[in-house]
Amino acid sequence: MASIEITNARKSYGAVDVLHGIDLDIQDGEFIVLVGPSGCGKSTLLRMIAGLEEITSGDIAIGGNVVNDLDPKDRDIAMVFQSYALYPHMTVAQNMGYALTLRKTAREKVSAAIDNVAGILGLNALLQRRPKALSGGQRQRVAMGRAIVRQPQAFLFDEPLSNLDARLREQMRTEIRKLHRRLGATSVYVTHDQIEAMTMADRIVAMYDGIVQQVGTPLEIYDRPANIFVASFIGSPAMNFLSGTCQITAQGCALILDDGTSIPFLAPPNVSNGQKLTLGARPEHIDIVGNGSAPSVPATVDLIEPMGLSTLVHVTLAGKPVKIFTLARPDLAIDSTIEIAFNMDKTHIFDSETELRLPRANEPFAAETA
Amino acid sequence: MSTPGKSRLRKTAYWGTHYLMIAAFVAFALFPLYWLLKVSVTPNDILYTEGVRMWPSRTTWDNYTFVLTQSHFPHYFMNSVIVSGFTALFTCIIAAVTGYAFSRFRFNGKIVIVALMLITQMFPLVMLIAPIFRILAPLGLTDSLTGLIIVYTAFNVPFATFLMQSFFDGIPKDLEEAAMIDGNTRFEAFRRIILPLTLPGIAATLGFVFTAAWSELLFALMLVSSESASTFPVGLLSFVSKFGVDFGQMMAAGVLALIPACAFFLLIQRYLVQGLTAGAVKG
Ligand SMILES: Nc1ncnc2c1ncn2[C@@H]1O[C@H](COP(=O)(O)OP(=O)(O)OP(=O)(O)O)[C@@H](O)[C@H]1O
Ligand SMILES: [Mg+2]
């Protein structure tokens, strides 16, 4: 097991810059999830750690040693591919033992290691099969097994679950987490699925456009997103955004939307009158209220999505779609006008120009760690 | 919903038609070979007198005996085996590495090399005979099997390379990357993971190049003048004399010449069965 330090790592393909200076310290034994939309450079970063992709500039160190010029085979890392990449002409056992055999490990030791891992992953009955005689989920397990058998310095996963159906994905998610707790191995896990990121990560690295947007624990990222991208990407259903102009009066601050609707908010320090701001509120932080209780704004009901446990109410506020999450089962008529109120402690204010979040002075959390 | 009986009938009809069409095609394709065989066992005296018959009234092995014992044919035959075998071997080795490079690497001048290789395939061979002769003569490579092997290899490499490239393209890159992470160098990954999966492709390429070299006549005729370095297609011409064509012996030689090609394909046919890579990656 080892730590991984990435210092100002860049990657360009010819004139195209794909990664613009990544800095990331991964602790020994940590489970890091790289998350971001398609094409943001997650796989590229992972492949640079693996040594499959050259580093244009910057350093990557594994266990304190800079590995920039080491071949993949000398980095002692294991990788699980999205496609699994099982060797088709080898049995499951041979697939799993390949790396050990290459290292001239004694045959008894190899088969003991294979048996041990096969036991953990429930592959004992499949050891003599070829990959083509396996189901997708079994192949996935074999790919995991092949990585585990080696006891490498670090595990790299590139969207290992994206070819599985929803139920199996959920199951493997828990299983990978349990395995990680058991093996304690440093892991870097790439996904574009924010639920996988939230549920699996010790720390999430949110990437966009070749830049790390924020690093933090899942709840830090959820509760205190650094900018509009992170706020919109993490969380499902996604955060609602309303942009407008800041108006400071004696009563306090309010956001004036395009149509003149005024939403009061708790002002972060240093906002100024007339500043363009974006208000972000998660669907669970907007309440449907009776007339006249809290400072509320009117909205029109568009759609009601009952999901059993909860209900998602789609409304239109000042011409913008807004989603409201509620555990109640509201009895609302489509096209009727309701009053909604924003939970002021929980709504976020972003600068519309920089898209950065403006933290309030009295936030319930400690300062940013990113 | 159709009844099971009805659908079985339809199935039988479907497969019946299917096999009938295949049989018709095979008969069409193999008929000249059958004729070759027929003429080779027909005694000379009744070849012209009996008219066109599906099978002669008498058969004989005389033509074979003559070809094998009293002609230079066994010698031509050996020459052909040597030339075709080495051509196939060298071409495949070169095509495998080149095709792999084309399939996996981006490098400067790749487009130029591909274009050059394509251009070489565009010239009518006749145009090239004189210059090639001029090149080979001072090197002492005319009238030699080595010269033929070099020329054949050179001419077959471009096509074989593109063929091999398409086979490599069909094998996911992830496989050798996984092998490299597992502890292989790129070359070891190529040898231990990619090559075994490309065996069908290599077999197809070998077969293609072998048969091309085996039946090549133009260069064999032009670059070789001595009997000792002649290949069998040239040898076949020796059955044509000023006074007539000895069809019986020529056909017997032809049948014998089919044997190595057939043997070769029997040898490689189990690799020609595709689908070895199924299950490597998802789906
Ligand atoms: N060989 C290449 N040449 C040029 N650009 C490339 C090359 N490989 C990748 N890129 C670009 O690099 C960017 C990052 O690619 P990468 O595969 O890392 O994305 P990703 O975040 O893994 O996306 P996904 O979630 O779709 O897998 C993409 O915009 C892609 O177009
Ligand atoms: Mg990717």
Domain annotation covers residue B50 = no
Residues B87 and B213 in one domain: yes
Q: Minimal Cα–Cα distance from A133 to chain B, Å?
A: 7
Q: How confident is the model at residue B4 (pLDDT cuts 50, 70, 90)?
A: low
Domain annotation covers residue A207 = yes
Domain annotation covers residue B168 = yes
Residues A138 and A14 in one domain: yes
Total-model pTM: 0.81
The per-residue pLDDT for B281 is 47
Which residue has a Cα nearest atom 31 of ligand 1?
A39
Strands A65-66 and A252-256: unpaired
CB contact under 8 A, A150 and B182: yes
The per-residue pLDDT for B227 is 82
Domain annotation covers residue B97 = yes
Residues A227 and A255 in one domain: no
CA B49, CA A217: separation in Å to the nearest integer? 98
CATH number at residue A208: 3.40.50.300
| Substitution target from A67, A70, A73 for chain B, most B beta carbons within 10 A | A73
Question: Average per-residue pLDDT in chain B?
Answer: 86
Residues B102 and B224 in one domain: yes
Residues A228 and A243 in one domain: no
Boundary (domain end) residue, out of A167, A201, A232? A232
Cβ–Cβ contact B172 with A under 8 A: yes
Token pair recorded at residue A39? 């094409």
The per-residue pLDDT for B200 is 82
Domain annotation covers residue A368 = no
* Residue A42 CA, ligand 2 centroid: distance in Å: 6
Boundary (domain end) residue, out of A184, A205, A232? A232
Question: Which ligand does the CA of A41 lie closest to?
Answer: 1
CA B33, CA B27: separation in Å to the nearest integer? 10
Residues B31 and B113 in one domain: no
Domain annotation covers residue A91 = yes
Which residue has a Cα nearest atom 19 of ligand 1?
A39
The per-residue pLDDT for B276 is 43
ipTM of the complex: 0.85
Residues B19 and B93 in one domain: no
Mean pLDDT of B115-142: 88
Residues B19 and B123 in one domain: no
Nearest chain B residue to A134 by CA: give it. Answer: B279
Domain annotation covers residue B24 = yes
- Of A19, A34, A43, A79, the one to substitute when testing ligand 1's pocket (max ligand atoms within 8 A of C-beta) is A43
Residues A149 and A263 in one domain: no
Q: Minimal Cα–Cα distance from A348 to chain B, Å?
A: 42
The per-residue pLDDT for A366 is 45
Chain B partners of A150 at a C-beta cutoff of 8 Å? 182
Domain annotation covers residue A323 = yes
Domain annotation covers residue A160 = yes
CB contact under 8 A, A85 and B193: no
Which residue has a Cα nearest atom 9 of ligand 1?
A44
DSSP three-state, residue A352: coil
Residues B9 and B94 in one domain: no
**Residue B221 pLDDT exceeds 60:** yes
Chain B partners of A51 at a C-beta cutoff of 8 Å? 180-181
CB contact under 8 A, A133 and B279: yes
Residue tagged 């005296």 (tokens): B45
Nearest chain A residue to B176 by CA: give it. Answer: A85
CATH number at residue A328: 2.40.50.140
Atom from ligand 1 closest to the CA of residue A37: 25
Nearest chain A residue to B178 by CA: give it. Answer: A85
Q: DSSP secondary structure string, A241-306?
A: EEEEEEEEETTEEEEE-TTS-EEEEPPPTT--TT-EEEEEE-GGGEEEE-TTSSS-EEEEEEEEEE
Residues A27 and A147 in one domain: yes
Residues B128 and B240 in one domain: yes
* Closest to A1 in 3D by CA, of A201, A144, A152: A152
Nearest beta carbon to residue B185 from set A52, A71, A133: A71
Nearest beta carbon to residue B280 from set A50, A52, A85: A85
Number of separate domains in chain B = 2
Domain annotation covers residue A366 = no
Domain annotation covers residue B234 = yes
The per-residue pLDDT for A305 is 94
The per-residue pLDDT for A364 is 60
* Closest to A122 in 3D by CA, of A105, A140, A95, A101: A140
Q: What is the pLDDT along chain A (370 residues), one digit of tens a residue?
A: 799 999 999 999 989 999 999 999 999 999 999 999 999 999 999 999 999 999 999 999 999 999 999 999 999 999 999 999 999 999 999 999 999 999 999 999 999 999 999 998 999 999 999 999 999 999 999 999 999 999 999 999 999 998 888 888 998 899 899 999 988 999 999 998 989 999 999 999 999 999 999 999 999 999 999 999 999 999 989 999 999 999 988 888 899 998 888 898 888 888 889 999 999 999 999 999 876 666 889 999 999 999 999 999 999 998 999 999 999 888 899 999 999 999 988 999 999 999 999 988 776 654 444 3
Domain that holds residue A308: 238-357
CATH number at residue B196: 1.10.3720.10
Residues A194 and A317 in one domain: no
CA A120, CA A179: separation in Å to the nearest integer? 9
Least-confidence region, from A75-84, B118-127, B170-179, B273-282: B273-282
Residues A42 and A158 in one domain: yes
| Substitution target from A44, A86, A126 for chain B, most B beta carbons within 10 A | A86
Pocket of ligand 1 (CB under 6 A): A 13, 16, 18, 36, 38-44, 192
| Radius of gyration, CA atoms only, chain B | 24
Number of separate domains in chain A = 2
Q: For residues B217, B218, B219 and B224, what is the CA-based torsion angle, rounded to 10 degrees?
A: 70
Cβ–Cβ contact B278 with A under 8 A: yes
DSSP three-state, residue A351: strand
* Closest to A186 in 3D by CA, of A63, A44, A10: A63
Residues B202 and B127 in one domain: yes
CB contact under 8 A, A83 and B183: no
Question: Which ligand does the CA of A157 lie closest to?
Answer: 2
Q: How confident is the model at residue B274 (pLDDT cuts 50, 70, 90)?
A: low
Nearest chain B residue to A163 by CA: give it. Answer: B282
Domain that holds residue B148: 71-278
| Substitution target from B107, B175, B177, B181 for chain A, most A beta carbons within 10 A | B181
CA A224, CA B157: separation in Å to the nearest integer? 62
Domain annotation covers residue A170 = yes
Residues B93 and B17 in one domain: no
Mean pLDDT of B63-92: 90
The per-residue pLDDT for B5 is 65
Domain annotation covers residue B164 = yes
* Residue A43 CA, ligand 2 centroid: distance in Å: 4
Distances (CA, A) of B116 to A91, A214, B106, B108, B113: 42, 50, 17, 14, 5
Boundary (domain end) residue, out of A213, A232, A251? A232
SS3 string, chain B, reads CCCHHHHHHHHHHHHHHHHHHHHHHHHHHHHHHHHHHHHHCCCHHHHCCCCCCCCCCCCCCHHHHHHHHHCCHHHHHHHHHHHHHHHHHHHHHHHHHHHHHHHHCCCCCHHHHHHHHHHHCCCCHHHHHHHHHHHHHHHCCCCCHHHHHHHHHHHHHHHHHHHHHHHHHCCCHHHHHHHHHHCCCHHHHHHHHHHHHHHHHHHHHHHHHHHHHHCCCHHHHHHCCCHHHCCHHHHHHCCEECCEECHHHHHHHHHHHHHHHHHHHHHHHHHHCCCCCCCCCCC
Cβ–Cβ contact B101 with A under 8 A: no
Residues B258 and B120 in one domain: yes
Least-confidence region, from A21-35, B218-232, B261-275: B261-275
Residues A273 and A225 in one domain: no
Token pair recorded at residue A246? 């800041």
Residues A125 and A74 in one domain: yes
The per-residue pLDDT for B278 is 40
Residues A283 and A221 in one domain: no
Contact between A22 and A2 (Cβ < 8 Å): no
CB contact under 8 A, A131 and B193: no
Domain annotation covers residue A369 = no
Residues B78 and B34 in one domain: no
Which residue has a Cα nearest atom 24 of ligand 1?
A38
How many of the other CB atoms lie within 10 Å of CB of A292? 8
CB contact under 8 A, A73 and B276: no
Chain A partners of B279 at a C-beta cutoff of 8 Å? 86, 88, 130-134, 139
Q: Minimal Cα–Cα distance from A204 to chain B, Å?
A: 25
Residues A130 and A206 in one domain: yes
Residues A37 and A52 in one domain: yes
Domain annotation covers residue B201 = yes
Domain annotation covers residue B56 = no
Contact between A322 and A242 (Cβ < 8 Å): yes
Residues B76 and B17 in one domain: no
Strands A276-281 and A240-249: antiparallel
